[in-house]
Structure 1
Amino acid sequence: MIFCGHEGDQMGQPEWALDGSFMVFRDLQQLVPEFEKFLEENAGKFEEIKRHPRPQEKLAAFLMGRWKNGTPVDLSPHDDSDPALHKSNNFDYQPIHKHDKCPFAAHTRKMRPRADLDHDHAVIIRRGITYGDEVTPEEKAAKKSDDENERGLLFVCYQSDIRNGFNFLTTRWASNHHFPDRKTKFVGEHGPGIDAIVGQRLSHHPPRSIGLPDGKDPTEARLDLDRWVIHRGGEYFFTPSIEALQGYLTDTPDYPPLPPLSREAKL
């Protein structure tokens, strides 16, 4: 549920909040050279990946759930050359007891599990805009981000309830090694793994890792992960509807004005 006051919204907001939405803003710094270094160092460790003509891009696609041009790996796990698939959303990760095409813990699968759930109740609308300059030749050579040249994503999302929207997605799904549920017998006791892109690990959580397809049943391949997205801060807001802005929020107050201060009180 995106807008307040409609069927499915259980929050009981005041009447003037109808058609409004809660907005989450996050500054997500991205360590691009470090991510590319990780791909370079790890793509050759797994047979399923190193056989690909572009193993580093293949590993990145497994971690993200889409190729760089947007092609879903669930629809095309080995190739991203079909323009008709670049913006496709027509997939559901079937059969859900296998992850031969798309890892259970790929970012897109973590954040929208589709057929992995009977009911995908945690729905948000999200957008983002990049900031910062492109990676410099010096950063590429050093394989390290320059502290004076930050880059990343300014992320916003909308929902009628932050607790059951953004907060639920990031804590219960992205940062939970055992979500999607009921996958242990297909991927081992450590579960699908953490979301490699936005999963956040607390000190008592297991080390960051993800299970990967390897042609075995159950699969055995597991990749230890670094951290390339740094949550720099953000805020929660409420965005009212146009009707609320034009009416309730700009009308005269619906509470009595305070009495004027006496001369003694002013002094």
Structure 2
Amino acid sequence: MATATTDPHNLFLREDAETQGDVLAGFKKDHMQLLFLRFEDQQPARTWLKQLRPLIATTKQVATFNKEFSRARSYSGGDDPKNLNALWYGISLTFEGLTFLAGHSPLPGVDGNSTDGPLKAFFEGPAKRAPALGDAGQNAPQNWLFGNFGDGRVHAVLTLAADQPHALRATLGDVRQDLARAKIVTVYEQEGATLEGPRRGREHFGFKDGVSEPAIKHLDEPDPENPVYEKGHPGTILVKPGEFVVGLERERPHPLPYPEWAQHGSFQVVRRLAQDVPGWWAGVAAQLKVLKEAKAAPPEATTEWLAARLVGRWRSGTPVAKCPHADMSYNAESSNDNLISFRDDPKGTTTPLWSHLRKTNPRDGFPVRDKEGEFHPDTKFNHRRIMRRGIPYGLPFDPSASALNGPDAPRGLVFVCYQADLFRQFEFIQRDWMNDETFPKPNPDTHHEQVDPGPFPTGSDPVAGEETVVRWERPQGGEPVALSFAQFVRTEGAVYAFAPSVSVIDQLAEGRMNTNMVVSGLTIFTVNSFDNTERDTVDSGTVRLFLRPDGNLVVIDNSNERILWAANTANPAGAKTQARFADGELFVCTVKEGNQIDQKLWTSGTAGKPEAKLVVQMDGNVVIYHRGEAIWHTDTALR
């Protein structure tokens, strides 16, 4: 019989009462308020969190409501049911916020000298990492309205989401009183609301938003004909839930030891992104003129035609890849279409390589092919996906209306996303895809090698990225055309936070936090890394499990650097040595070319238990647990 983790039709996550509701199920409300909070007094803050805990929405609650809402909407012919409403609460905590509540560091083994990764990104926060993410100049942290730094430091992000604005307003009044009693300072409040009328479901540039979001295995129902995709949503890929929730099944083995308190939680990114709407459309119109003067666009091409290519979709959401000549706004099926392939567009002559759609998810059009010369499948980048929960803020641009609709009025997107790995998901997309002007390089369909881009590379994302020059490829061939775009989206605030499980919220309200480090699945410890996904240390703050340069796997007391336990696998012959945790077994081996195991030098003897977890504990012991039972340990608890 298939287990819950292998049977795609087992929708066990719909009963998840541990993970907060916005992460997997999604609040999906028309009105949202984010309160960025700073704690002043530890005990009142803990009491406030304890009182808040029963209000926090879970995946089970939100998924059940969303299912009923969708069913009622289908019965009403597409209109929102007026008598089915909810108001949801969510809470996330920054590194500083967790430290304040617990009374000690939540990541005692992570510091400025540790290997870059999700825990270090969380530890440092977005302000310190801003230059690498393109947040410089007018986007720099000193210009932000809120963030994890200085006097504007944030300890928590409280999210309220509602169907009805009056319900949200009334609740906010009570929430503010509770915060005042708990001596909690509101650093900043950020409202968000779905745009009204024909703009509903769109962001301020005018394009349908959220079309490309992934579905989640064991929460969303798979298509019986093709279980890679969600039922009723062709092209919407089902991604394993561990890409969004720590401790669940992941797309590929990552050696990511996480603290115990992170299990069933998710790292959250919140960014206030201001949009220059008139500037963006003026920029598109100016570059269309450049294209026509270069005879690189058809005479009948309009500003809408070029804007669709910048986004990768028309305003309605219809993909340019399938409808390059005109929008199909009348076709709801087309506007929700995610079954998009770029295999036949390797140089980006239909959907440009630098379009927002391809920059944030290359799908099967990634220019590097496999050994057989085939393009990578559209599931190749499942481990890079993020779960976006954004909402617009501000009034739409309309120069004929009030001053709040004018060109200088505040408007933009409250960008919210969840992931298990800040470093390899959100930051990678922002740093290595959107803002990297060399990604992806043009690749002709006649051979496998990427070509020299010539005088200028692909360019950055012209919708949400930095100021850039992009490479326009002529469909008929010939010299590409350079198009210049200013930066039209500005970062005005950013926070990295963590949405803990319901159980951990209870623990934090009591001042408790378990910083045991947990390893599950396939994990590789190595001295000579094959790539940057591998590491050589798991550190609980008390002790660290460490593969030494000589190939010996040891447990070291952090207080005095004394070796408490050793596998005695030092390999003076100079062979490449690895320690691995796989199938419930911890072992040290030598490896051959291609990362293949050559010889096992030592083993814990616990193989055959894929659900087992390796835990480097706060007390100094290193233990392998299987279904709650200790099946191996180093006997190094510090007494």
User: What TM-score does the superposition give when structure 1 sets the normalisation length?
Assistant: 0.81
1:66 equivalent to 2:332? Answer no
Structure with the bigger percentage of strand: 2
CA distance in 2, matches of 1:162, 1:225: 28
Contact 2:310/2:462, CA 8 A, preserved across alignment: yes
Corresponding residue for 1:39? 284
Q: CA deviation at 1:34?
A: 0.9
Contact 2:271/2:415, CA 8 A, preserved across alignment: yes
1:132 equivalent to 2:375? Answer no
Where 1:137 maps in the other structure, the secondary structure is coil
User: Which residue, 339, 343, 351 being the options, matches 1:102?
Assistant: 351
Overall identity of the aligned pairs, in %: 30
CA distance in 2, matches of 1:243, 1:52: 60
Letter of the structure 2 residue corresponding to residue 127 of structure 1: R
1:50-103 deviations in Å (ceiling 9; x for gaps): 5335x1011111111111111111121112124321011101211252312100
Letter of the structure 2 residue corresponding to residue 123 of structure 1: R
Corresponding residue for 1:196? 462
What runs of 5+ residues in structure 2 fail to find an aligned partner? Answer: 1-242, 367-375, 444-449, 515-639
Deviates more, 1:162-171 or 1:211-220: 211-220
CA distance in 2, matches of 1:168, 1:190: 23
CA distance in 2, matches of 1:122, 1:86: 24
User: What TM-score does the superposition give when structure 2 sets the normalisation length?
Assistant: 0.36
User: Which residue, 327, 352, 358 being the options, matches 1:80?
Assistant: 327
Corresponding residue for 1:4? 246
Q: CA deviation at 1:243?
A: 3.8
CA distance in 1, matches of 2:256, 2:391: 30
Where 1:45 maps in the other structure, the secondary structure is helix
User: Which residue, 229, 253, 267 being the options, matches 1:22?
Assistant: 267
Q: CA deviation at 1:49?
A: 3.9
User: Which residue, 418, 437, 443 being the options, matches 1:177?
Assistant: 437
Where 2:389 maps in the other structure, the secondary structure is strand
1:145 equivalent to 2:407? Answer yes
Contact 1:29/1:229, CA 8 A, preserved across alignment: yes
CA distance in 2, matches of 1:253, 1:104: 49
Q: CA deviation at 1:242?
A: 2.8
| Pairs aligned (count) | 242
State the structure with more CA Rg. Answer: 2
Deviates more, 1:97-106 or 1:33-42: 33-42
Task: Name which structure has the greater RCO, CA cutoff 8 Å, separation 6+.
Answer: 1
Rate the CA distance shift 1:187–1:96 in 2: closer, same or farther, 3 A. Answer: farther
Q: Which runs of 4+ in 1 moved over 6 A?
A: none
Rate the CA distance shift 1:218–1:156 in 2: closer, same or farther, 3 A. Answer: farther
Contact 2:399/2:407, CA 8 A, preserved across alignment: no
Where 2:384 maps in the other structure, the secondary structure is coil
What runs of 5+ residues in structure 1 fail to find an aligned partner? Answer: 202-207, 256-267
Contact 1:98/1:186, CA 8 A, preserved across alignment: no
1:154-200 deviations in Å (ceiling 9; x for gaps): 00111111111111111111111111145463864522211002223
Letter of the structure 2 residue corresponding to residue 145 of structure 1: P
Rate the CA distance shift 1:235–1:216 in 2: closer, same or farther, 3 A. Answer: same
Corresponding residue for 1:51? 299
Contact 2:296/2:481, CA 8 A, preserved across alignment: no
CA distance in 2, matches of 1:159, 1:32: 29
CA distance in 1, matches of 2:478, 2:458: 12
Rate the CA distance shift 1:15–1:48 in 2: closer, same or farther, 3 A. Answer: same
CA distance in 2, matches of 1:32, 1:252: 46
CA distance in 2, matches of 1:210, 1:17: 40
User: Which residue, 491, 494, 499 being the options, matches 1:231?
Assistant: 491
Deviates more, 1:176-185 or 1:58-67: 176-185
- RMSD of Structure 2 on Structure 1 (CA): 2.6
Contact 2:390/2:413, CA 8 A, preserved across alignment: yes
Corresponding residue for 2:632? none
Contact 1:26/1:232, CA 8 A, preserved across alignment: yes
CA distance in 2, matches of 1:190, 1:40: 22
Q: CA deviation at 1:19?
A: 1.9
1:217 equivalent to 2:477? Answer yes
Contact 1:43/1:50, CA 8 A, preserved across alignment: no
CA distance in 1, matches of 2:509, 2:491: 35
Contact 1:64/1:106, CA 8 A, preserved across alignment: yes
Q: CA deviation at 1:16?
A: 3.0
Where 2:246 maps in the other structure, the secondary structure is coil
Rate the CA distance shift 1:153–1:180 in 2: closer, same or farther, 3 A. Answer: same
CA distance in 2, matches of 1:177, 1:212: 13
Contact 2:347/2:442, CA 8 A, preserved across alignment: no
